[in-house]
Amino acid sequence: VSSPDAAAQTKLTGGRAVFKKLFEMAPGAKALFTRVNVDNFESPEFNGHIMRVMGGLDVLVNYLEDTATLDSLLAHLASQHAVRAGVTKGAFELMAKVLMGGLPKVVENFNPDAW
């Protein structure tokens, strides 16, 4: 397994765990992901969605110290999701809760105050 393949597999595994937890906490949230074949966590469509989400998070983390760019990226992300029916501020707050619950399990010396 090459290094890029291992990194992609790690993102995919982590992303599946994130979405599994999200749907445990809010089963109705699955309805927001029907266009990416959410009922089959192994499908190419859902795997692609997971990789886009995890890649987006990776980009955001890399710009945490550049607030102007981070704000621009977040505004773009918000505009992409604003057009999706059912996506609310509460949905993003729930996703943040899921991430903050899972990050300490995979990030060494995780500091929630840094986030």
Domains, in order of start, for the chain: 3-104+109-113 (1.10.490.10)
pLDDT tops 90 at residue 68: yes
Residue 2 scores a pLDDT above 70: no
**Percent of the chain predicted with pLDDT > 90:** 50
- pLDDT tens per residue across span 22-51: 999 999 999 999 999 999 999 999 999 999
Structure tokens at 59: 């980009």
Q: Give the chain's mean pLDDT.
A: 88
For residue 73, pLDDT over 50 is answered with: yes
Is 49 known as a binding-site position? no
Angle of helix 3-25 relative to helix 44-62, nearest 10 degrees, comes to: 100
Spatial contact of 21 and 106, defined as CB atoms under 8 Å apart: no
Give the pair of three-digit tokens for residue 28. Answer: 């109705």
For residue 106, pLDDT over 60 is answered with yes
**Inter-residue contact 45 to 37 (CB < 8 Å):** yes
